[in-house]
Structure 1
Amino acid sequence: MSRQLLLMALGPLLGLFILGIGNGFLTTLTTLRLDAAGASSLVIGWVSSAYFIGLGVGAMVNDRLLLAIGHIRAYGSFASLLAVSVLLQGMFADPVAWFALRLIAGWATVGVFLVIESWLLTAGDDRVRGRLLAMYMIVVFAAGAIGQLLFGLTRDMAPAEPFILIGLLASLSVLPMAIIPRVTPLLEKAEPLSPLRLITLTPTGVMGSFGSGIAVAAVYTLLPLYLQRSGVGGDRVGQLMALVVLGAMCLQYPVGRWSDRHDRQLVLIGLGGFCALICAGILLLPLPPWGLAALLFLLGGGVFSLYPVAVGHAADRAPAGALVRMSQGLLLINAIGATLSPSAIGPVMTLVGDGGLFWSLGALGVGLVAFFAWRRSVRPAPVPVAPFSPATPLSAAELAVTEEWVQGALEHEHVEDLSEAVPDVEVAEPLVGPPPPDEPHIVYYDDAAPAAPEADAGNVDERAAKDAGQERGATYG
């Protein structure tokens, strides 16, 4: 990865990191403040769902602003909108107002993600795309972890102060985007990309994003419940969940590098099978505490790597003008999967026990492997063209007209006089290597170029050498 590309990615990634620290504990803060105010579980659920509704709505319409005003100004707009919504939450403690504000916050947050993802997808090609998206996911997870630690420090603050802190971080995140980047990715003319065309264009990317949303939401929402019901203490639950996030951070870049060097469909097949094996190990093996911790670490790395590899695969298939809307569509599909996950896996846990979480995740992994393998059989990865290796040591500069070739041409054309057959070609002996400087040789000219005067014919090589020397001086001098 070039230094210039790293510098281009530094601004958006640093801005996302600053914003993500505050956004990392905003959801937890909102839930706990509503509970402390005496709100019912139904009210808390509706306010929490408003954020995800905003994510879905924003994923459908935010591309228009981005395509109209560009990456930097769009990021500034979304970050400012998020800051205003959070500051207003600190001013009004009414659940109805918070529903509207969380809706706006979800709209703005998915806009930030859209700007960052489209920036990275447009800036890099398929050789570095996996690593760029891996860095993006590492920043998201690291910011979320730091945000949870910061939440512990805000418990003794006045009621409005944590919201003010989050708003300040959201506003501050605009500075790296505005100051650091010297160039921004070129936004070509946007192509319309309907959901049906997105599915037709990259079924693997769509299914990978959808499956990733299901798996990630299940890990975040249902894994703590499984651990608590399995007899793990409260402090231990937090440590194991932190270990899952740590596994996601540590394995993102190796998996991204792997996907840059191999077919991403094969990487997705490997990740799906890997997650299924980890779930089978948790269910079937008698695990000591350290064994469970190790498998959860690996599970986090596998589950959280699905989305960036799926997005990278989709970007490899999409035309350049459709990258922004493709990223928007995959964000929406991922959000739909995350929304459906708890309601789909929860009944399985009720039916077969708490282990139903890993039975569901294992079945999801097997299903993804089968789908990706089928898609690979339907549309195999293109085979790179083998480099050309000449069968003989001759090249265009070493090719000479021999007497045998001329005689064969005369016999084929039934011409007896050599000057009639090839009047402008001088017969030469076969050459091996470049001709000696004092012997005549053939010089090839472009048909459109004017022929050199006869008086200057002897100076052709001298002029060519002089011109070549001037060109080298202008280029490398």
Structure 2
Amino acid sequence: MSRQLLAMALAPLLGLFILGIGNGFLATLITLRLDAAGESAVVIGWVSSAYFIGLALGAMLNDRLLLRIGHIRAYGSFASLVAVTVLLQGLVEHPWAWFALRLVGGWATVGVYLVIESWLLASGDAGVRGRLLALYMIALYAAGVLGQLLLGVTEAMGGAASFMVIGMLASLSVLPMAMIPRVSPLIDKAEPLSPLRLITLTPTGVMGSFGSGLAVAAVYSLLPLYLQRTGLPVDRIGQMMAVVVLGALLLQYPVGRWSDRHDRQLVLILIGAFCTLISAAVLWLPMTTWTLAGLLFLLGGGVFSLYPVAVGHSADRAPAGALVRMSQGLLLINAIGSALSPPLISPVMAVLGDAGLFWSFGGMGVFLVLFFGWRRSVRPAPVPVAPFSPSTPMSAAGAELAVTEELVQGAIEHEHMEDLSDVVPEVEVAEPLVGPPPADESRVAYFDDTPSVEGDEPAQAELPGIEPAVGRT
């Protein structure tokens, strides 16, 4: 990776890391504060769900603002809005006010991810995108671990101190983006495939993405509630949540490499069974602090590996021209699952007690095992066509990051090897899955924020190795 490319990627990655520290423990903080205020698990679930609803809405709408004002100003707008919503939560302690603020905060947060992911997408060619993606994942998970560890420190300050720290971090994350050279990337516009089309193309990928959304959202929003009600202090809760994120960081890649060498459907079945066993162990084994930490480490590795393996399975079946749109559609399915998770699982906790969380994890695991097993018996999975790439994209642009040249080439070769009428029945329709966009919308040129010498229009900025596009401005 060239020094120039690393310099271009450093600013967005540093901004992501700074903002991610605060965002890493915000969900935990909100859950603990609501529980301390005496709110029910159902109310906590709905407030937690608001954030994921905002993520889903932002993933569909925020690209329009980005195309209109450019990366740097869009990042400043979204990060500032994140800071404002968090600080307001420290001033107004009412669950339904927090619901509205979390909704707006989720919409703004996914805007930040969209800016960063699209920046990395356009910063280099396919030969370096894998390394850029790895740096993105390291920054995201490292910030999450550090943020959870800071939870106990900030809560010891009392009052609104934790919200103030998160708001300050969100504001500080603007500095790296504002101080870099004024170079603006290019990004393609694409619309995700509809859920109905996705179900036709890849039922296993849709269910895996949806199940991952349910499980991951429950980990972030309801696991802190379970830990607090078992009597753990706030600082220990932060440490346990950090262990979960650390398990996701360390185990995702080995699981993914394993899926490259075996049937991905079989790997998905085993992940579902593994999560079921871990949930049963938490429910029935005598718990010590170290036992619980070890089980949560394994649960994080299993739950967070589900989505990328499901996406990899879908990519193995996708026509070459539909890879990006399919990935974006699965991202939307994942966001829908995340939004539905707290309202669905919190009533189970209200009926069965706090252990209802792990009964829910176990039930989801059993259902996924049965579903994936049925799909494998109906239509066995093809041989993986490209190496696994660990990812948890937060926006539609992040889906494009994972679509490498090797994956496209593998999909093309896979189309030549099998009859598409059997693999993808809906390819034979009047309209193609992916067609060329109109000439004036094929690509959008971004401009920097610095006026030209004449003061009329901003000058178009060029990226190394990327020719400036001609399109609407």
* TM-score, scaled relative to structure 1: 0.61
Show the counterpart of 2:379.
Answer: 378
Distance in 1 of aligned mates of 2:96 and 2:173: 28
User: 2:63 matched to 1:63?
Assistant: yes
Contact 1:11–1:181 (CA under 8 A) maintained in structure 2: no
Does the Cα contact within 8 Å between 1:70 and 1:187 map onto a contact in 2?
no
Tell me if structure 2 keeps the 8 A contact 1:129–1:312: no
Which residue in 1 is equivalent to 2:462? Answer: none
RMSD: 4.8
Alignment of 1:243-392 (within 5 A): 243-259=243-259, 264-283=264-283, 290-314=290-314, 329-346=329-346, 348=348, 356-375=356-375, 378=379, 380-381=381-382
For the 8 Å contact 2:269–2:373, the answer to whether it is kept is yes
CA distance in 2, matches of 1:260, 1:340: 31
2-side partners of 1:44 and 1:221: how far apart? 8
1:42-441 equivalent positions in 2, closer than 5 A: 50-68=50-68, 73-87=73-87, 100-117=100-117, 136-155=136-155, 163-177=163-177, 186-191=186-191, 193-224=193-224, 239-259=239-259, 264-283=264-283, 290-314=290-314, 329-346=329-346, 348=348, 356-375=356-375, 378=379, 380-381=381-382
Contact 2:279/2:361, CA 8 A, preserved across alignment? yes
Question: Structure 1 residues 4 and 362, CA, compared in 2 at 3 Å: closer, same or farther?
Answer: farther
**C-alpha separation between the residues in 2 aligned to 1:336 and 1:311?**
16
Gap runs ≥5 in structure 1: 386-477
- 1:24 corresponds in structure 2 to 24
Structure 2 letter corresponding to 1:190: A
- Structure possessing the higher radius of gyration over alpha carbons: 1
- Residues 75 and 112 of structure 1 are in contact (CA less than 8 Å); yes or no, is this contact kept in structure 2? yes
Partners of 1:316 and 1:288 in 2: CA distance: 42
1:107 Cα deviation after fit: 1.0
Q: Could you say if the C-alpha distance between residues 174 and 203 of structure 1 is closer, same or farther in structure 2, counting changes exceeding 3 Å?
A: farther
Q: Report deviation, 1:247.
A: 1.7
Q: Secondary structure at the match of 2:188?
A: coil
1:317–1:270 Cα change, 3 Å: same
Q: 1:163 to 1:350 in 2, by over 3 A?
A: closer
1:345 and 1:47 map into 2 onto residues whose CA distance is: 13
Percentage identity across paired residues of the two chains: 75
Q: Provide the rounded CA distance (Å) in 2 between the counterparts of 1:233 and 1:26.
A: 17
> 2: distance between equivalents of 1:122 and 1:313?
25
Shift of 1:343: 4.2
For residues 85-136 of structure 1, the C-alpha deviation after alignment (integer angstroms, 9 at most, x for no partner) is 4455567778776554433212101222344455667779999988866654
* Preserved CA contact (<8 Å) 1:59 1:329: no
8 Å contact kept, 1:126–1:312: no
**1:45 positional shift:** 7.3
Tell me if structure 2 keeps the 8 A contact 1:82–1:170.
Answer: yes
Structure 2 unaligned runs (5+)? 387-473
Q: Which moved more, 1:142-151 or 1:44-53?
A: 44-53
The separation in 1 between residues aligned to 2:32 and 2:225, in whole angstroms, is 18
Distance 1:326 1:110, change over 3 A: farther
Counterpart CA distance in 1 for 2:379 and 2:341 is: 29
Change (3 A) 1:257 1:182: farther
For the 8 Å contact 1:74–1:115, the answer to whether it is kept is yes
Superposed displacement of residue 281, structure 1: 4.1
- Contact 1:130–1:312, Cα closer than 8 Å, also in 2: no
Correspondence for 2:456: none
Structure 2 CA distance for partners of 1:116 and 1:205, relative to 1, 3 Å: farther
Using CA pairs below 8 Å that are at least 6 residues apart, which structure has the higher relative contact order? 2
Between stretches 360-369 and 262-271, larger displacement belongs to 262-271
